[in-house]
Each structure stands twice: as C-alpha cells, then as structure tokens.
Amino acid sequence: MLENMTGLKRTHYCGEVDETLLGREVVIMGWVQHRRDHGGLVFIDLRDRSGLLQSVFNPQEDEETHQKSHDVRSEYVLALRGTVRRRPADMVNPNLKTGQVEVFIRELRVLNVAQTPPFVVEDHGEANENVRLKYRYIDLRRPSVLKKFILRHRVAGLTRNYFADRGFLEIETPVLTKSTPEGARDYLVPSRVNQGLFYALPQSPQLFKQILMVAGVDRYCQIVKCFRDEDLRADRQPEFTQVDLEMSFVEQDDVLDLLEGYISLVFKEILGLDLPRPFPRLTYDEALRRFGSDRPDLRYGLEIVELSEVLSQSEAKVFTEALARGGCIRGLKAPGAASFSRKQLDDLVAYAITLGAKGLAWIKITGDGWQGPLAKFLTEEEKAALARALEAGPGDVIFFGADTAPIVSSVLGQIRSRAAQELGLVREGEFRLTWVTDFPMFEYDAEGKRWAAVHHPFTAPRDEDLKYLADEPGRVRAKAYDLVLNGNEIGGGSLRIHRPDVQALVFRALGLEAAEAREKFGFLLDALAYGAPPHGGCAFGLDRLVMLLAGASSLREVIAFPKTQKATCPLTEAPGPVDPRQMAELGLRPELKKS
C-alpha cells in the first residue's frame, strides 16, 4: 500500500551521507537502484541526483520493516529513516562516494511504485536513442546523463556571474517578433488577433541587442533561446541556447579580451585547465590557406603548403593545367601515412571527389624512393624542393590539390581532418582555441546571383575597405570574429554598423533598395538615426560549449528534451495536429495530405 511523507522530512541527499554522520539518524528519499536479498539481510541501493547509498534491513533488529522491504522493486520511490553505520571492512566500496557507510533502516515508506523501465537505469546500460528520448525522464535518472546537466547548470551560473561582475545587465528580448532575413528559415507563428499576419520566433536577438545599445544600456547579456527552421545534424537543433552579449564604445580587442577571460574561467572552473592567453589569432584567409577551413582544428599540425611556384614547370598536366586556368597547387604532408594500404589511399581519393575535387594526387615516400601515379613526372630537383617545403621524408605521404583556391582549400582541409583521425593524431581531452578574424563581408548566395552577408547585414566593414562597398563588395572585409575550439565554432560576433549612411551602403550592396530595406528593417534604421554609439558583441552556443566540455558527441546529449534529426520530439510527439477549430480561429485551413 502506498504511503505519504507526512511527518517525515528529508535530512540528507543520498550522496551526502558519509563518515561524519556515523551514529546519526538520517532520512533519505529516492529511487531504488538495486535490491539484494541475502537470505536474511536485505540491501537496497537508493539513488537520487547526488549519488547512491546502501541501506540495510535486518529481521533480527526490525522484523516489520524488513518484511516491507520484500515488496520493493527497482525504480520504486522510497522514503527511508535509519542510522548511519560503518560498513564491514569486506563490504567497503572504494568506487562509491558513500562506499564507507550504510544506513540501517528502521522505517520504510513506499511513496510510489514503478513499472519495469524500458531500459536499465545504469550508465553501462545500452538503449536505442529514440527509446531514450521517448522515456527521457527515465534516461535523465542515469548518473552519466544527469552529470552533463549539472555541468551545464554550473556553466550557466559562471556565465551570469562573470558578466554581471563586469557591469552587464541581463535583459530579456521578445520571443514573438517580426520575420527578418537573417540567413536561416524562420519559425512562423500565426496571429489570431491580426489574421493573415505572422510573428517569427527569433533566430537571435541581434536587432534588439543593438537597439538596447542605442537605448544607452551600454552592456547587455542574456542566456537566450533561439530558433531556426533548418535541416538538423549532430551539432544543430531547431531550438538552441545562446550566451548573447553586446557592448558599447568598444573596439575588437576589447570584446576579444573580455571573451577570452570568460572562456578561460569556464575551463578553469569546470575542467581545472589553465588556458594560455592570449588565444592565437588567424585571419580568415590565413586559416583557409594553412588549414583549409575557417574552423581549423589546431590539435595537430598537418598544415597545407603553397606549392604553385615549386611545381610551376612540372611535366604533370594536372598541375600545369590548373595553373593555366588561374588556379593553384597546394600540398599536405601526412606523417607516417606511407603505412596506408592502397585501399585507404583510394578511399581518400574517392572522398575528395565527393567533396568536389576532380581527384586527389598523392605520392608515398618510402626507403626505396618516391612512389605513386605522379612520381614519374617529378624531377629530382622538384622532389628535393617538395621535401624541403613540406618537411617530408621516408614514411610520409604527400597529398596534392590542384584547382581553384576555394576548392583546393576545402578539399585538402577535409582530407587533413580525415587523415588526422586515421593516423591517430587527434588527442582527446586536449583543447586548442583560436580566433578567426577579418572574414569577407559578402559572398554570393546559393544561386550565385547576388551578394549575401557572410555573418549578417549589420556587421561593420573594415574602415579601409569602405571605399569598395559600392563597386567591389567582394573585396570588403568585415570586423567579424569567430572563436574556434578543436574545429568547432563555439562563438561568433562582430563590431556593428552604427552609422545610418554605412548601413544604407551595405543594404545597397546586398541588392536591397531603400523601400525594401525600410520595410524589413525600418525600426533599426530609425534607431540608428537617433544617435547610435559604436558597439559590438558576440554570441556563444551554450549547447555546443557544454557538449565539448562534457566530451559528448551530440547536442542532444546536453539538451534536456531535444528533437531528433527530423525535428520531432519522441517524448511529446511534437509536432502534432491541432483541432481544425483552432486553425479556423487563426484564419488557417488545413491542407489535405496527398496519399
């Protein structure tokens, strides 16, 4: 028969009971992890969020309570009152925080029963991810899962305190706002009061935080939910959490220095690591040239080297034809990859082709000389020059890219990452950060017909590039910066445009006529006209940062109730149908699905 807690108040969490409480009476409450009947004594391991504690039922000391323990099963919810005792020497569990003690129970109340769970509530238990997400309330009971959310809680607390101590005000921004083009598809919310009109869920609070700077707030910070209706992957969710901030009267170094302090604090408090400061900085062009990515993983070397001059007179057509088309030749040394089988090398070639390359040339250097399809086209002088340029020698493989610079960078960058994995060069538990700065202001859109903003259209151009805005947008660099951790972008921001005339030039470069710009961003343009201070800021992906700190492989592991890759919630079965009367109230009518 189920009982209640009346007259019984919890005194300690399970994980708090230790040798300092020997001889004292405690009341603990939680879930049954295991029940073991040794033919006389019964042991129940009780679990709450703080840990596990062994309790003992002895028929010779308390027959009634011992008898009640026989009806208890895994995941029952119990309240137990008893005395803390030292465990016998042969029963000490050094792997358990409470492993030196146990509680002899004199009162047991069954607060609730439980069905057999769909998977074992233990760290080593295996379960399909969809089953785990459907029964997330059970999954979260597992210590290794809950541990990630305790870590997340600590990061959030450090974040609020760090920025509050530096004069930032936490101000909430709207969740129902206007749809504005910011790079991804909006989630739209129909208005019942204004039928035919829609709110949008914010992709970020970008415009509002800039308006707060115009308002004189000076320093703003918020841990905020954002929404983007885009295709999902392991490190992307339709709703995600940002550490969002903005500062007035600052230059780029002011923002970067503040953020380095924040990240360094988080790593020190969470992982006990002292990060060397200042963090390295790479320009966008340098990152692409040396690492083939604007999110370079610096845990290993494998730098890409320019070889156009070295091979400018090569007899290999793949090289000379690429140069004749205005392309480039670059190389990547994979140390020790001479041990790769021909199949491994062929797989890398096939992988490069899927990335848009026409192929992937390679040469293996062995004790017997240079081997590979291109070896016969290289002179001894060219081999010596390549060995010097790449610091290559016996046991290494050189991969070559010969095409336009963007294709060569992209392909060799991804070959670099894959080769590092196969060579075992990626050291887990190592963290390498770098800033990437001076991004291009514009890039062509997916159709290649018009310029689009690389970050967003409110990013300030570099002062010396203002002269190119009207006629040569492709030459304009932005006052933008990303923070990259082990090949993952964890934060990004920029100094913003605070002058209406510059904002108008940027809109014009993006193909937005004055009337269209006013329709989409009129409230921001009005705000800029009333005395906007120079300002800049950044947004960190809290989910991604916690994922990396926790050593998790997916954002879903650090979000309490995440969506699947199809943007569905197995727990609540969202999204789901709504009553046709609700749709009618919104001025919507359901479309029949085609069979």
Q: What is the pLDDT of residues 181-232, one digit of tens each?
A: 766 889 999 999 999 999 999 999 999 999 999 999 999 999 999 999 987 7
* Rg of the Cα atoms in the chain: 30
Q: Is the pLDDT of residue 532 over 80?
A: yes
Mean pLDDT of the chain: 93
Cis omega (within 30 of 0) for bond into 59: no
DSSP state of 59: T
d(CA 291, CA 288): 5
**Residue closest to 226 by CA, chosen among 183, 168, 162, 169:** 183
Per residue in 119-166, pLDDT tens?
A: 999 987 778 999 999 999 999 999 999 999 999 999 999 999 999 999
Residue 347 binned pLDDT confidence (cut-offs 50, 70, 90)? very high
The helix/strand/coil state of 213 is helix
d(CA 211, CA 217): 9
Percent of the chain with pLDDT over 70: 98
Residues 6+ apart with CB under 8 A from 515: none
Stretch 551-566: mean pLDDT: 93
d(CA 333, CA 301): 9
Do you know the residue count of the chain? 595
Task: Mean pLDDT check: name the lowest of 187-201, 316-330, 392-406, 503-517.
Answer: 503-517
Q: In what order do the strands lie in the sheet with 361-366?
A: 304-306, 328-334, 397-403, 361-366, 369-371
d(CA 105, CA 79): 10
Task: Mean pLDDT check: name the lowest of 103-112, 248-257, 516-525.
Answer: 516-525
d(CA 45, CA 383): 68
Per residue in 254-313, pLDDT tens?
A: 999 999 999 999 999 999 999 999 999 999 999 999 999 999 999 998 999 999 999 999
Per residue in 438-472, pLDDT tens?
A: 999 998 876 767 888 888 899 999 999 999 998 89
Residues 6+ apart with CB under 8 A from 296: 282, 287, 290, 413, 434, 436, 484, 487
| Residue in this structure with the two tokens 């029940």, named with its chain if needed | 35
Q: Are 318 and 362 in contact (CB under 8 A)?
A: no
The helix/strand/coil state of 496 is strand
Q: Is the pLDDT of residue 1 over 80?
A: no
Question: What angle do the packed helices 500-509 and 514-528 form, to 10 degrees?
Answer: 150
Stretch 507-529: mean pLDDT: 89
Structure tokens at 306: 């320019």
Stretch 568-583: mean pLDDT: 92
Residue ranges with strand state E in 409-487? 433-437, 442-444, 451-453, 480-485
Q: Is the pLDDT of residue 413 over 50?
A: yes
Residue 595 pLDDT: 46
Specify the pairing of strand 433-437 against strand 480-485.
antiparallel
Residue 389 binned pLDDT confidence (cut-offs 50, 70, 90)? very high
- What's this model's pTM, rounded to 2 decimal places? 0.92
Per residue in 39-61, pLDDT tens?
A: 889 999 999 999 999 999 999 98
Q: Are 433 and 279 in contact (CB under 8 A)?
A: yes
Q: Is the pLDDT of residue 486 over 90?
A: yes
Q: Is the pLDDT of residue 23 over 90?
A: yes
Domains of the chain: 14-112 (2.40.50.140), 147-281+434-558 (3.30.930.10), 300-426 (3.30.1360.30)
End-to-end CA distance of the chain: 51
Please report, as a single letter, which amino acid is at residue 513.
E
**Residue closest to 545 by CA, chosen among 287, 218, 166, 158:** 158
Q: Is the pLDDT of residue 96 over 70?
A: yes
Residue 125 pLDDT: 73
DSSP state of 87: P
A 10 A CB-CB count for 530 gives: 9
The helix/strand/coil state of 75 is coil
Which residues, listed in sequence order, are joined to residue 57 by a DSSP beta bridge?
42
Task: Mean pLDDT check: name the lowest of 104-113, 147-156, 229-238, 571-580.
Answer: 229-238
**Residue closest to 17 by CA, chosen among 77, 133, 101:** 101
159-189 b/e (C-beta count within 10 Å ≥ 16 → b): bbebbeeeebeeeebeeebbbbebeeebbee
d(CA 480, CA 443): 14
Stretch 468-493: mean pLDDT: 95
d(CA 395, CA 369): 10
Residue 444 pLDDT: 84
